[in-house]
Structure 1
Amino acid sequence: MIGVYDVIKKPLVTEKGVTKKDNERTLCFEVAAGANKTQIRQAVEMLFKVKVEDVRTSTTAGKLRRRGRFAGYGPDWKKAYVKLKAGEKMPEYAEI
């Protein structure tokens, strides 16, 4: 069982994430690879004191890394798009 503080690793501040935050009440986070949607929902509701409407997740494959003639891959990671219910106050990334 993953603890609430271990589910969310960090907010993802990308152009797409900022646009979704401004227009669609959606926050973007990097989350633990073993976390499911229910755990992500509970963690966001508890940590930020908001109500969650929807959670969408995506697993991203690790990139190819090269060190001279040696090649390997970076770790796979998971991101979550969390949509807040209407009327909920958006937490600022400076507060996170």
Structure 2
Amino acid sequence: MDRIKNQVLTEKTIKLLRNNQYTFNVDLGSTKTEAKNLIEGFFNVKVGSINSYRVSRNKRSRRLSEKTSNQKRMIVTLRTGYSIPLFPDE
């Protein structure tokens, strides 16, 4: 799980949970296949699809530094009947 950094919980990603979609920050070099295998193995779920995108910076940050983003996110859609607990039992 070293390629997947953390799960993202924002207002938008919480709305996506209704559709069984989970959002994760990942390394820039991560591929969809790697992420799928890691998530299926770690959480014991079946992944239906994965969409990835680079997180855009705000306008001020873009003017002051290079225009490429240094973060990548993946939205993982799980198959019906599977879910990932947000807060695992201790």
- TM-score bracket, normalised by the shorter chain, equals 0.7 to 0.9
Q: What are the residue-to-residue correspondences of 1:1-96 with 2, within 5 Å?
A: 5-21=1-17, 23-63=18-58, 64=61, 71-72=64-65, 76-88=70-82, 90-95=83-88
Unaligned runs of 5+ residues in structure 1 are: 66-70
- 1:78 is matched by which residue type in structure 2? K
Shift of 1:62: 4.3
Runs (4+) off by over 4 Å: none
Larger of the two Rg values belongs to structure: 1
> What does the per-residue CA deviation read over 1:21-76, in whole Å, with 9 as the maximum and x for residues that have no partner?
1x2100000011100100010010011000000000001244518xxxxx446x61
TM-score (norm 2): 0.82
**Cα RMSD after superposing both structures:** 2.0
TM-score (norm 1): 0.78
